């Protein structure tokens, strides 16, 4: 076994151990590389999910960056298989914060402009441009996604989260429960209801 490097001190009886050279640094570098890989693999999907939830690209970028920083700051030492649900838990909390602030902003604006936030809701599907008839398959996918996003905006927050995490991000029920901070049964219920609403809203269009 290789001896550890030591310093012979003039004032200490016992030699001062320096530890294995580079061990802690290598460990940090390994962790940094693993985190880099993880974040690089997840960042675009996370950003897209945040865009769907917030409907604002700049806010979505801020939310993703905050989630990255918080994950690195607080959970870098956790096992790698825990990073994904933890990352989405952090992102979800950030998104919820931003949605609350946006809600307060809207309420204040409605108050000062004399309007009411209880105006009758428009049918979100009607707001999506109708591109049916185009032969382009990509356009079909984009169109479907736009319609799904419009329907998701009408769902409860929990139902929307369940759909985003389970369907778009592909988290399993247990991971989605961690991300949403609720029970697995609750995830299943919210997801099923979200699917029912989507099927009802998109069924006719899909046919």
Partner 1 sequence: MNEDEMRELERKSRAAFDASVEAADAATRSRLARARATALTELRHRGLRRAAPWLPAGAAAAAIFAAVLWQREEAVAPVAPGAVAFEDLDIVTGGEDFDLLGEDADFVAWAAEQAPDGVG
* Non-local CB neighbours of 38 within 8 Å, separated by 6+ positions: 80, 83, 84, 87
* Distance separating alpha carbons of residues 204 and 64, to the nearest angstrom: 35
Query: Please, are residues 89 and 105 in contact by the beta-carbon 8 Å criterion?
Result: no
**Taking the complex as a whole, how short is the minimal distance between the CB of residue 182 and partner 1, in angstroms?**
21
* Distance separating alpha carbons of residues 162 and 184, to the nearest angstrom: 10
**Taking the complex as a whole, how short is the minimal distance between the CB of residue 179 and partner 1, in angstroms?**
16
* Distance separating alpha carbons of residues 34 and 135, to the nearest angstrom: 42
Q: Based on CB atoms, which residue is closest to partner 1, 178 or 194? A: 194
Q: Based on CB atoms, which residue is closest to partner 1, 69 or 108? A: 69
Q: Which helix (H) or strand (E) holds 142?
A: helix 137-152
3-state secondary structure (DSSP) of residue 7? strand
**Taking the complex as a whole, how short is the minimal distance between the CB of residue 109 and partner 1, in angstroms?**
28
Cα-atom radius of gyration of the chain, to the nearest Å? 24
Asked whether position 86 contacts partner 1 by CB under 8 A, the answer is: no
3-state helix, strand, coil in the chain (%, to 5): 70, 0, 25
**By CB under 8 A, what part of segment 54-73 binds partner 1?**
57, 61, 64-65, 68-69, 71-73
3-state secondary structure (DSSP) of residue 52? helix
- Piece of 4-12, 26-34, 113-121, 125-133 that binds partner 1 (CB under 8 A): 26-34
From 25, 79, 113, 121, residue interacting with partner 1 (rule: CB under 8 A): 25
Q: Based on CB atoms, which residue is closest to partner 1, 178 or 198? A: 198
Query: Please, are residues 56 and 147 in contact by the beta-carbon 8 Å criterion?
Result: no
Site track 154-193 with partner 1 (rule: CB under 8 A), x = hit: -------------xx-x-----------------------
Q: Residues in the site for partner 1, rule: CB under 8 A?
A: 24-25, 28, 31-32, 35-36, 39-40, 43-45, 47-48, 57, 61, 64-65, 68-69, 71-73, 76, 138, 141-142, 144-145, 148, 167-168, 170, 195-196, 198-200, 202-203, 206
């Amino acid at each position: 076994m290789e001896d550890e490097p030591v310093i012979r001190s003039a004032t200490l009886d016992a030699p001062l151990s320096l530890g294995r050279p580079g061990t802690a640094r290598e460990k940090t570098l390994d962790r940094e590389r693993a985190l880099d890989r993880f974040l690089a693999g997840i960042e675009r999907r996370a950003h897209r999910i945040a865009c769907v939830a917030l409907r604002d690209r700049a806010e979505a970028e801020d939310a993703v960056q905050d989630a990255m920083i918080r994950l690195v700051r607080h959970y870098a030492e956790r096992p790698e298989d825990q990073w994904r649900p933890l990352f989405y838990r952090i992102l979800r909390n950030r998104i919820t914060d931003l949605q609350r602030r946006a809600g307060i902003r809207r309420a204040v604006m409605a108050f000062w402009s004399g309007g009411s936030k209880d105006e009758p809701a428009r049918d979100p599907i009607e707001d999506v441009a109708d591109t049916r008839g185009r032969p382009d398959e990509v356009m079909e996918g984009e169109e479907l996604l736009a319609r799904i996003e419009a329907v998701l905006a009408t769902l409860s927050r929990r139902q929307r989260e369940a759909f985003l995490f389970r369907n778009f991000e592909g988290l399993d029920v247990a991971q989605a429960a961690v991300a949403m901070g609720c029970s697995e049964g609750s995830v299943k219920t919210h997801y099923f209801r979200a699917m029912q609403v989507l099927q009802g809203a998109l069924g006719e269009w899909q046919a």
